[in-house]
Amino acid sequence: MLDVNKTVREFAIESPSAIRVFEKLRIDYCCGGNQPLKDACVQKGLQVDDVLQLLGQATQTGTNSESSDSQSLPLASLIKLIVEKHHTYTRKELEFLSELLERVCTAHGQNHPELLHIRAHFQDLHAELLPHMMKEENILFPFITRLETAISEDRPAPFAPFGQLRNPITVMMAEHESAGEILENIRTLSNDFTVPDDACFSYRTLYKTLEELELDLHQHIHLENNVLFPRASEMEQTTRAATM
């Protein structure tokens, strides 16, 4: 029996195949994953029993994903996965979509003014994500890696210029939430990425790529918010308790 009082985050961690269900039903498992499943269903106007049935079926037929081993991977390896797969993908797609949006807006913006609003939101997303990933790669992630290494080698924890991990993590999670809101606005403006009848190939490619970017960012943020950050924070707290 699946427990409706478990958080969406717990379902996503314990059964990665549940992520497909959450994506299909538009249930937030990354930024808003700390709420109980029953509350998430109420927010979306979904019947809890129906969602539980879908989750049960996904668990039985699902295959492993990158988050299957995320709880057992060394944090350095998890960070490497996030940077090499998700950060690299995000940078590449942001550049591609910036150019594509300009072309599609020039060709179709007059007949589809929603494109101009989508472009404005995308520009905000672009401007937010690039410095966000730089801060993670240059400050937060290296510290977590050094902390894990120090613990494994029984050495003192490295100096943290930001105080405690919760300080930069709080900032990163707030920026994740902001990115999630932008993605939701883009989805709404595009009518769930539904292309109009007069859409050309570039227009269709734009919506397809935006939706793929949204999915990858959801999985990317899930790995950070729900796996990396809690594990790193717990590791830091254990280290602090041992030195007191």
With a cut of 90, say whether residue 114 has pLDDT above it. Answer: yes
Give the whole-angstrom CA distance, residue 62 versus residue 86: 22
Q: How many residues does the chain have?
A: 244
With a cut of 70, say whether residue 240 has pLDDT above it. Answer: no
pLDDT at 17: 84
pLDDT at 68: 55
Mean per-residue pLDDT, 139-168: 93
Mean per-residue pLDDT, 118-124: 98
Characterize 126-148 residue by residue with b for buried, 16 or more Cβ atoms within 10 angstroms of its Cβ, and e for exposed: beebeebbeebeeebbebbbbbb
With a cut of 80, say whether residue 181 has pLDDT above it. Answer: yes
Q: Residue 116 — very low, low, confident or very high, per pLDDT cuts 50/70/90? A: very high
